[in-house]
Structure formats: structure tokens, C-alpha cells
Structure 1
Amino acid sequence: MKRLTIASLGALAFLTAVSLTGTIPGVTSTADMGSAFAQNIQRQGQVQLRLDAEKQVVQKDSQGKEKVNWESLQGKAMVQRGDTLRYVVSGINNGDRPVKNFTINQPIPKGMVYKLKSARVNPNSQAKITYSIDGGRNFVENPTIQVTLPNGKVETKPAPAMAYTNIRWNFGTSVPAKTTVKGTYEVQVR
């Protein structure tokens, strides 16, 4: 377990890039995916962070219809190019007080490509999801890039999935005591 003290007016939880296993980029071992604690100086609350990964498995039923299941990745799970993984980021306020200005910033693991529009948050939270295409320096709801057309004209276009580097969930003014908030997103193994 890692302990992290955060000095700011509100509790700001930051999940750092996950460790990579052996030769498969972007897959963490369960020992690395455990928990982390964040507690701000004002003792607003104690937040436990957890990162879990699941692999998408598509199977056909007896009628030939595809059914999507998610298998938890345990230990040094093997994934292949093209596999879809889902990361689940949980923030658990174990304290007796609300945590103000709670934000989770999750880097897209190396060797993975973000699946556009796959980021979600638990329905009861008022979280705002934003994205970065510059390593986490700037976040916007809809990242764009400048593209120079063959005629020399520069046009603004939506950023491609490969450009996404981070996802941020901002849970607003307060996360109540004894509450869990979750964000999920999907990636594809390159």
C-alpha cells in the first residue's frame, strides 16, 4: 500500500501510471493494482484509491449471438494485441467528513489506445470527465488537434484516440463520508 499526503485546499487524489509487467505493456500485476491512501492536511477525510483491470471476453451463445463478459485480470495476466481492457478506478472516502474538490487523474497506460467515449462514472455522482492529449498538463471535454490540409489550410479536428494521454474525473464540490465513487474507461492493446 502506498501512502500519499496531499497539500491543497481540497483533497486531490492522483493515480500515477500503473506499473507494467514483463513484456506486455499496460498490464499490471495485482500486487501493483492494490490500494493507495490520500489524506489532505485539513483532515477533511481519508480516501482510499483502487485500480482494477478486466479483460473483455466475447463468447457466442447457443443461438450464435455474441455476449460480452469482463474477466478480472489477476497476477501477470497475458493479453494480446487487439484485446480490450477495462480499468476501474475507485475512490473510497473512509472518513467521517466529506472530501472537497476530489479529482482522479488516470494516465492511459503505455502500449494502450483509449477507446473513445468509453469513460464512465457511477450514475449518482455529478462527476465531470475531461481528457488530456498533452501528458496531463491541460484537460478539456473534447480534445482537438490542428491538421494541415493538402491545400495548406489549417483545420481543427477532434483528437484521434491515439492522442489521448490522461482521463480526469472531477467529482465536484464534495464526496460525502463513507461513499465510493468509480470511474471506468476502456483501452485496446496496441
Structure 2
Amino acid sequence: MKRLSFASLGAIALIATVPFVSQVPGAASLWHSTSAIAQNANQGQVQLHLDADKQVVAQDQHGKQSKTWQPLKGQAVVQPGDVLRYTLTGENKSDRAVKNLILNQPIPQKMMYVLKSTTITTNAKITYSIDGGKTFVENPTIKVTLPDGKVETKPAPATAYTNIRLQLPSLAAKTLVKATYQTQVR
């Protein structure tokens, strides 16, 4: 069994960086659901909350499989191959809209992003980084050298993804936004 320990998962709101957790569930690791507040003097504040669930696959007596999500609480154990779903919730606590909200979620090291698993409940641009959060694009690509020496551009594999960025043009006063994405334990 591998023990997973990750640098902090975080969210970036406006110009403030808000770290959420310093430990992500791993084999015999402790998971803490946490929240933080990002504040901008000109636009108010957004409260951020991050939760994680583990996918549980069950099989009935007829061989039919079902998938459910189990919240990670307390002492959570995950194994290589397990799929985790993260839910990031942002609530605009202020009386006015927050403009140009940017949420940046790093993919922990020992985890692999599940391609096309990001969803968000509002209008947002979803982009990804494969260089540790330096650049973001909608469809990351890599250059591959073929056996004949030619270089070809191909979609980046899931193992290359390092960050997810959600850009919201505006978050109305007193409203919630919820985003989810999945990772798999390596």
C-alpha cells in the first residue's frame, strides 16, 4: 500500500491565493474538508469549500456493476487505481457581483486527472496546464518524435495534466458556484 502526501490543493480567487489542505487522502492518511475566504477590497468576498469523495464500485448477484460516491472523512484509505471526485464550492457572500473570478486547482502529484471529468454549474471557461500552472489552454498538446524522426503534435495524456483553471466572468451576489473534477490514484 502506498502512502500519498501532497502539497496543498488550492484555489485562486481574484488575486488572492487560498490554500485548502496540506494532506489529501492517501493510504491511511487523514482527510479534512476545509473552507477558506478569498477577499478583494473592491469586490467583496468568496467563501471556498473543497470536499472529496471516493468512487465505490459494487457488483450485485447478477453481475451488474453500480458506481456510487463515498465521502472521504476521518481516516480515509485509497489504493492505486481508486477514483476520487473533488467538489469545489464558491459562495459570493457579498452584496455585489464578483468579476473575473479565477479558481485554480492543482492536480496532486501521485494523482492523474480523469480526462473530460470537469464540470461547473455556471458559465465558465475551463482550461488546463501541463507545465505546473505556468500556461493554460483548453486542449493541452505535446510534441512526440516518431520513429522516422518527424515531430508530431498530439493531445497530452492524462498523466501530463498538472492544474485545472476555471475562469468565471462574474459571480452574482449571494450565489453559489460548484465545480467537480476527478482524479485517479497512480
Whether 1:182 and 2:178 are equivalent positions in the alignment is yes
For residues 150 and 126 of structure 1, what CA distance do their matches in structure 2 show?
A: 43
Q: Is 1:148 paired with 2:150?
A: no
Residue in 1 that maps onto 2:6: none
Q: Secondary structure at the match of 1:162?
A: helix
Question: 2:128 is aligned with what amino acid?
Answer: Y
Distance 1:28 1:108 in 2: 18
Matched, 1:41 2:45: no
Report the CA distance between 1:23 and its aligned residue.
6.1
Q: Distance between the aligned counterparts of 1:101 and 1:166, measured in 2?
A: 18
Matched, 1:85 2:102: no
Deviation at 1:103, TM superposition (A): 1.0
Quick one: distance in 1 between partners of 2:30 and 2:105?
A: 14
Map 1:94-109 → 2, pairs under 5 A:
94-109=93-108
Cα distance in 1 between the residues matched to 2:159 and 2:148: 25
Counterparts of 1:109 and 1:145 in 2: how far apart (Å)? Answer: 20
Q: In structure 2, what residue type is equivalent to 1:89?
A: L
Amino acid at match of 1:74: K
Please state which structure has a larger fraction of its residues in strand: 2
Match among 153, 165, 170 for residue 168 of structure 1: 165
Structure-1 residue corresponding to 2:69 = 70
Q: Distance in 1 between matches of 2:19 and 2:131?
A: 15
Q: 1:184 to 1:84 in 2, by over 3 A?
A: same
CA drift at 1:66? 1.4
Work out whether residues 144 and 158 of structure 1, in 8 Å CA contact, stay in contact via their aligned partners in 2.
yes
Answering whether residue 117 of structure 2 is matched by residue 118 of structure 1, we say yes
Q: Given that residues 21 and 34 in structure 2 are in contact (C-alpha distance below 8 angstroms), is that contact kept between their aligned partners in structure 1? A: no
TM-score by length of 2: 0.86
1:107/1:184 CA distance change after superposition, 3 Å = same
TM-score by length of 1: 0.84
Q: Quick one: percent identity of the two aligned structures? A: 58
1:72 maps to a residue whose letter is P
Do the aligned partners of residues 147 and 159 (structure 1) sit closer, same or farther apart at CA in structure 2, a change above 3 Å counting? same
Unmatched runs of 5 consecutive residues or more in structure 1: 1-5
Shift of 1:21: 5.5
How many residues align? The count is 175
Residue identity in the other structure for 2:138: E
Q: Which amino acid in the other structure matches residue 132 of structure 2?
A: G
Q: Kindly tell me: are residues 18 and 57 of structure 1, through their superposed partners in 2, closer, same or farther at Cα, counting changes over 3 Å?
A: same
Indicate the residue corresponding to 1:3 in structure 2.
Answer: none
Unaligned runs of 5+ in 2: 1-11
Q: 1:59 offset after TM fit, Å? A: 1.3
CA deviations over 1:89-135 (Å, ceiling 9, x no partner): 1111111111010110000012100011111111xx11111000000
